[in-house]
Every structure is written in C-alpha cells, then in structure tokens.
Structure 1
Amino acid sequence: MAAQSWLESLRGAKKTAVLQEGKRKVHYLFLDGSEMVEEYEVSNDQLIVRKWRQKSQLGSQGQWQIEMGETFSGAVGNLEQQLIQESSSNPIFTRKDTKTSFQWRIRNLPYPKKVYSVSIEPDQRCCIVRTSNKKYYKKFNIPDMDRCRLPLDSSALSFTHANNTLIITYKKPTEILQLEQEMVQELKTVKLTGGGDVDCKTQ
C-alpha cells in the first residue's frame, strides 16, 4: 500500500526537531538527499508549514519550495517580501490545512461565488479553478494524495467565497487521517535538539 511505503520513507528519514515559539520544527533528510521541513503547533499538533528542498543534478542545494503555509513568512528574504507587496493586488494562492481537510485560500478574487467552478481532473490528478468571466484559472495538485497514490474524489471537494477570498476544501480520506496520526506519534519520539531551547541561537 502506497500510504504505508510513504510512512516507511518518513520513518526511515534522519530527523531533527527543535521547539521554538510554541512550534515544533522538524527537519527530515531522506535517503535520496532531499530535505523536508515541517512546523507543528505544539498546543494541538496541527501542521502549519511544509517545505521541500531537492539536490540539483550537480549535487548543490536547490531553493526551498513551499508545499503548505504562507510563502511570505519571516523565513523569506526582504527582497522577496517587497516583490510580494508590490503585486499585492494579484491573486495569492496559499494552502492551510485543518485537522480533517486539505484547504487552499486564493486571496484577491473579488468576483461573486457564482462565477467560480472548482473541479477535479482524475486523469491529470489535479484540481482546477475556473471563472466564467475568464478572469482566473488555476490548476493545482494535492501532493499528499499523490505520495499515497490515492484517487481523487469529486464528492470530497467543496468551495466557498468570502471577503474577496475563495476557500477550497478537500476532505481528507481515512488513509491520510491515519497516516497523519501515526506521524504525529512518531515525531513525539524524536529528541529535541538544543534541549528545546526556545531562543535557539544557532538559527
């Protein structure tokens, strides 16, 4: 089962964890040299950030790619922050999950709800957002579902629109909920580096 093989790959990765500002930050180093960083709220074990970095063909470190969480958090450089601010009227696409759903927010979309349609393309394994006024189009996948090779189900998908923001929700299947539960338990066994010092000077 693909979900189990992904879980094994997570268990087999070299993991280090640090406690900072009420968050547990976990760094994974996989056998193929790729890295993943996750941040969890300590109070409720909610995952709030996940990003990846792959090694290039020449063996150098690539750029961090955000899979989940805000792309303009404190980790992003000033120049990038300025660039984001300059184009602040453009639609901003971010992912922020809940315990039971994958969830995406697309800000700066002022059109009424009836203009949007959100659908699943099973062959392409992706979700597509369209507007009837042809003003916005977005195609995105759900990496968690891809890693576990789970089929996408149209009935799990829904959306709402409020305050110029389109909120798209995909209900997590049982396999994902189970996997996440097992990972949270697994991460609690990872020893914290720096003795859990909140003001870790090495950051």
Structure 2
Amino acid sequence: MAVQSWFDVLKSSKKTALIHDGKRKIHYLFTDGKEMSEEYDLKTDELLVRKWRQKGTFGVAGQWELEVGEPLGNPVASLDSDVIKENCSNPVFMRKDTKTSFQWRIRNLCFPKDVFSVSVEPSERCVVIKTSNKKYYKKFSIPDLDRSQLPLDGAALSFTHANNTLIVSYKKPSEVLAVEEELLGEVKKLKGTTGGDGDCKTQ
C-alpha cells in the first residue's frame, strides 16, 4: 500500500469524533472491519494515543492493541528482557511521537549511553536496539512506514540516554508528514460532540 493509497483508506473510513478532557478523539472504522482509535491534544495537535482492534474468528471485537501512547499499568508480561539489576525494575517500552519524529522510550535501562547500539535492519524492516553487555535486546517495526511502503533509512535514526531512559527517534519522512498534515485537516472538519457521554457524530 503506497503513501497515497493509505491516505485514501483513512479518508474513506467511517470516522466519528469526540472532544473531551482537552483531547480530540477520533474513531475510524475500515471496510475490512478493523478499527483505529486516535487521541490528539487539542492545543498542540500532537498525537497522544493510537490503538487498533480487529474482530476475532466469530466476529467478536478483540482487545485494543496500543501502537502509540503510554501503556496502562506496568506491562511486565509483554517484555522480552530479564531484570537487569537487583535495584532496577523491568524495562518499559512505549512509543510517544513528536511532530517531526517517531519516538520510542524504554525506561529502567540503567546503563551508560555508550553501551547501546541502535540500527535499522532494512531486510527485516525493523529497528534493533542492542547493548554491548548483552543485557538488553529489542527489535521493533515502524508500522507507519510499513503501511505506506516506505524504506527504512539509517540516517533518520538517532538516540539519547538520560535518567535511565533510552530515547530512540526516527525522523519522519516528508511523505508521512504530508499525510499527517492532510489527515489532521480532515479530522478537524469533523463536528465532534463534546463531553464524555452520548454518541459521536459520524462523517
């Protein structure tokens, strides 16, 4: 699916909007039955949450799967790393984008920055985080690039480490920025209801 066709899929989906608690919440229903839910900060237009849900075998809605945003609680079960040190809890992996970059934060990584190595694996279409002490390893994809069939570029990748948190950034390609800007324009046109109850208005 190319960049434009992904935008066409978003544009043709059934969308509902809700303005609540300083956030613009958008629900997308696609023709294949998949659902996507996004939350934007009303003041900054920053994407706070994106999650997906699809129907199971018997048409029953499955669990929401978080793509962007902070997990609720401490999702220890989903982590692929052992406890690093006695005084450290398990690493917590989450994605929190900025306007110009995809960004991931991994908390509770109590190592100096020079221990970390972050690179792209173009053949596997993923980003790989490794440590020279072999205490942490993580491989993850960038769904936004997959949906738009854009290649991974190692030059777009950077990372920093502070307060036991590794922050990995990937500069958004111009094609993605253009789609995000168009999509934001679309969702702002939706006449969303305000408040927590009642039905959302549908486009």
Same fold, judged at TM 0.5 (above): yes
Once the two structures are TM-superposed, the CA of residue 200 in structure 1 deviates from its matched residue by: 2.9
Which residue of 1 is the match for residue 197 of structure 2?
200
Per-residue Cα deviation, 1:161-190 (whole angstroms, up to 9, x for no partner):
000000000000100000000000000111
Whole-Å separation in 2 of the counterparts to 1:57 and 1:155 = 41
Report the AA paired with residue 24 of structure 1.
R
Once the two structures are TM-superposed, the CA of residue 56 in structure 1 deviates from its matched residue by: 1.1
Whole-Å separation in 2 of the counterparts to 1:136 and 1:201 = 46
Segments of structure 2 that go 5 or more residues without pairing to the other structure are 77-82
Which residue of 2 is the match for residue 37 of structure 1?
37
- TM-aligned CA distance change 1:26 to 1:83, over 3 Å: closer
Which residue of 1 is the match for residue 183 of structure 2?
183
Which residue of 1 is the match for residue 150 of structure 2?
150
Per-residue Cα deviation, 1:30-86 (whole angstroms, up to 9, x for no partner):
0000100000001011111000001112211111000000111xxxxxxxx3775xx
Q: Which has the higher helix share?
A: 1
Whole-Å separation in 1 of the counterparts to 2:198 and 2:138 = 41
Give the alignment of 1:28-177 within 5 angstroms.
Answer: 28-72=28-72, 81=73, 89-177=89-177
Report the AA paired with residue 110 of structure 1.
C
CA contact (8 A) 2:74 2:92 kept: no
Whole-Å separation in 1 of the counterparts to 2:99 and 2:41 = 12
Whole-Å separation in 2 of the counterparts to 1:192 and 1:93 = 32
Per-residue Cα deviation, 1:115-141 (whole angstroms, up to 9, x for no partner):
000000000000000001010000000
Aligned length: 190
Segments of structure 1 that go 5 or more residues without pairing to the other structure are 73-80
Which residue of 2 is the match for residue 3 of structure 1?
3
Q: Structure 1 residue 23 and structure 2 residue 16: aligned?
A: no
Whole-Å separation in 1 of the counterparts to 2:75 and 2:183 = 36
CA contact (8 A) 1:20 1:200 kept: no
Residue aligned with 1:94, SS = strand
CA contact (8 A) 2:50 2:66 kept: yes
TM-score w.r.t. structure 1 length?
0.89
TM-score w.r.t. structure 2 length?
0.89
Residue aligned with 1:40, SS = strand
CA contact (8 A) 1:126 1:142 kept: yes
Identity among equivalent pairs (%): 59
Between stretches 51-60 and 147-156, larger displacement belongs to: 51-60
Report the AA paired with residue 63 of structure 1.
Q
